[in-house]
Amino acid sequence: MTECPDIDVRLAINRTDTNLIARGNIQPRIYTPGEEVSNQTDYLRGHGTYVDEDELLRASVAGVLEKVNKLISIRPLKTRYQGEIGDVVVGRITEVQQSRWKVDTNSKLDSVLLLSSVNLPGGELRRRSAEDEQTMRRYLQEGDLICAEVQSTFIDGSLSLHTRVLKYGKLSQGIMVKVPPALIKRKKTHFHHLPNGATLILGNNGYVWIGANTRSADRSEGGFTQDLSRIHQEDREVCARLRNCVLILSTCNILLTDTSVTYAYEESSKYKVNELLQPEAIVDVALMTHHRLHQ
């Protein structure tokens, strides 16, 4: 078996896509840098494109064509996360500053979580005082993982987050996996409780959180409490298997949704957890998952 299983999987998936195109289910075309996108003159040039000396519109990045009326742009396949208001993100606290936390959200600049943008313990609604600033590390400190929502964007591209909704806040025990943000599809909900009992949070920024099957955190405390109880062996194996399934889907450029992750988890049951990242298992699980998604 080859040492590059993702190439074999992509070739096999492309062969499958040929059959899908014949049935009318056309896959999006990928443009390469310098490739001609359009020779029309009545277009608006968007991100990821440029005009050459012959006034032809060409792609400046490798990505998928997106067209809105006359606006033509190329969405890159691999890039840093570019946040939009309302996105659900998973991040790690990198620094505690005055009245704010700095958060790594896989974007070009660290995001900001203001003290005024979090729920106080007990759900108190009041102005933040100097005492609250002095006890910020009791709420969140360096290294803590949080789930938040993008509240606004700054001129330099950095993001302002908030955790005012009770479903957001500090994350307890689990695994965080980093994948390309382009593989996370924007949907109405990014919080999923899978049939195997685990919790899956698909952050728009490419950080995927797999939570163990433990009792839910007490959100009445403002989302700062953690469940540090002992996790059973079965739940740890479920999280480890889900983690390997997410990596398989990411390696083979398959969109990450609760459906695709569930299908990959079911198809992986024939292998042990420590066998899932071997080339044969990657090819098998990815092809079976792709087939089920396009049936």
What is the model's pLDDT at position 203? 95
- Residue 10 is predicted with a pLDDT of 54
Kindly write down the DSSP assignment for every residue of 139-197, as one continuous string: H--TT-EEEEEEEEE-TTS-EEEEE-STT-EE--SEEEEE--GGGB---S--EEE-TTS
**Residues above pLDDT 90, as percent of the chain:** 46
Average pLDDT, the chain: 84
The CA distance from 22 to 16, in Å, is 10
- For the stretch 69-110, pLDDT in tens is 889 999 887 788 988 999 999 999 999 998 899 999 999 999
Structure tokens at 15: 């062969």
Q: Rounded distance, CA 73 to CA 125, Å?
A: 44
Tell me what percent of the residues of the chain surpass a pLDDT of 70: 84
DSSP E strand boundaries for 203-252: 207-211
Helix (H, G, I), strand (E, B) or coil at 57: strand
| Mean pLDDT calculated for residue range 219-223 | 54
In this predicted structure, what is the pLDDT of residue 25?
41
Q: How many CB atoms are located within 10 Å of the residue 223 CB?
A: 25
Res. 3: pLDDT tops 60: no
For the four alpha carbons of 246, 251, 256 and 262, in that order, the dihedral sign comes to negative
The pLDDT-based confidence of 8 (bands split at 50, 70, 90) is low
Give mean pLDDT, residues 46-58: 88
pLDDT at residue 173 is higher than 70:
yes
CA neighbor of 162 nearest in space, from 217, 228, 83, 216: 83
The upper half-sphere exposure of residue 171, i.e. CA atoms within 13 Å in the direction of its Cβ, equals 27
pTM of the model: 0.78
Catalogue all structural domains in the chain, each as residue range(s) with its CATH number. Answer: 32-77 (2.40.50.100)
